[in-house]
Structure 1
């Protein structure tokens, strides 16, 4: 649902600065949040940092409405990447409006929320692997025969490291650190755009595949 179809009512509107914790996983919901403006990063916080990043959402959009529809707590954390304007609707008022909808519409909304929850659960499960395991798995999946050394495998970094890190759900600094650790363990070698895979069995063990 878009902000423009929200009923005309005196909702609480808050402007939150960049870096604010907008949503915390496992926390009971007291308000339904609609992001009117701004960009929010979704993932898992560790020691106050978004160590495992799953993606971003851009307002206008609902933030935790599917959790309310299902009567569940959030699975992820959300941090403001820019200043954001959040419209907060009291839980009781939101639920009352849900009940006023036709039963068929509520059924469709429930199914959509359930599918979204399942996708989020799968994404969180993928993040259960630590950064080293995910990086090792990514290297193995992107390995190709080395052009200059027959019988060996190499990985060409055809994207910027920050984009690869985003795919893995980790910070760019974490990706660089893990690559350095893999070199120190003699699992890979090389720098820049080309990485050589030295120990495939070691990488498979690390990736748990």
Structure 2
């Protein structure tokens, strides 16, 4: 439905770790990613402090903001080498204006719905990483049937996938697990964990 960039736009390759979008910052271009993987979230001092999702090319990067004339809600960082083209926003908007009116209306409706979901996801970050991890751990073992035997669980997904569910970076997830061990709320290493202080985890999760 969205127009593809002209072949005349130069393709560049960026390494992993490059910041493509900064939330709340206006840009005069929109990027079309031909190949590569991108991480979406909120930047901290050392990269993404909170991670909210992934994108893989080929795709337009944050087309909803361009359709609605708004600034990005999230920061976007390359997670691998990425091939992309920078298209002037005015050119992209002109291509949209050439589409039939019903198609333009549909695009705006889809963009608004996606924006609302993104705003909700960003607002969830008001709960800090430790609270979200504690809440997630408790959900994995409920219902808790015995106070004498600490409930245990096996991390069946990769830490990267779990971190994405929680909206944090994989490094943050690993750090929080280490902190929970140091505070004697959980025990275990690797994929095997025991929740040794249920009340403490509940308090941390705000339950």
Classify the TM-score, shorter chain. Answer: 0.7 to 0.9
CA contact (8 A) 2:32 2:60 kept: yes
TM normalised by structure 2 equals 0.87
- In structure 1, the partner of 2:111 is 113
Q: Residues 28-177 of structure 1: matches in 2 within 5 Å?
A: 28-144=26-142, 152-177=150-175
Name the SS for the 2:204 alignment partner. Answer: helix
Shift of 1:79: 1.1
Q: Residues 1-12 of structure 1: matches in 2 within 5 Å?
A: 1=1, 6=4, 8=6, 10-12=8-10
CA contact (8 A) 2:152 2:193 kept: yes
Shift of 1:25: 0.9
Question: For 1:119 and 1:49, how far apart are their aligned partners in 2?
Answer: 23
Question: For 2:119 and 2:34, how far apart are their aligned partners in 1?
Answer: 26
Deviations 1:104-128 (A, max 9, x none): 1110000111111112112212233
Shift of 1:169: 2.6
What residue ranges of structure 2 are gaps of 5+ in the alignment? Answer: none
Question: For 1:173 and 1:93, how far apart are their aligned partners in 2?
Answer: 39
Of the candidates 12, 18, 21, which is equivalent to residue 20 of structure 1?
18
Shift of 1:147: 9.8
Question: For 1:7 and 1:81, how far apart are their aligned partners in 2?
Answer: 23
Instruction: Note the aligned Cα RMSD (angstroms).
Output: 2.5
- In structure 2, the partner of 1:189 is 187
CA contact (8 A) 2:42 2:48 kept: yes
Question: For 2:34 and 2:19, how far apart are their aligned partners in 1?
Answer: 16
What residue ranges of structure 1 are gaps of 5+ in the alignment? Answer: none
Question: For 1:149 and 1:192, how far apart are their aligned partners in 2?
Answer: 24
Name the SS for the 1:127 alignment partner. Answer: helix
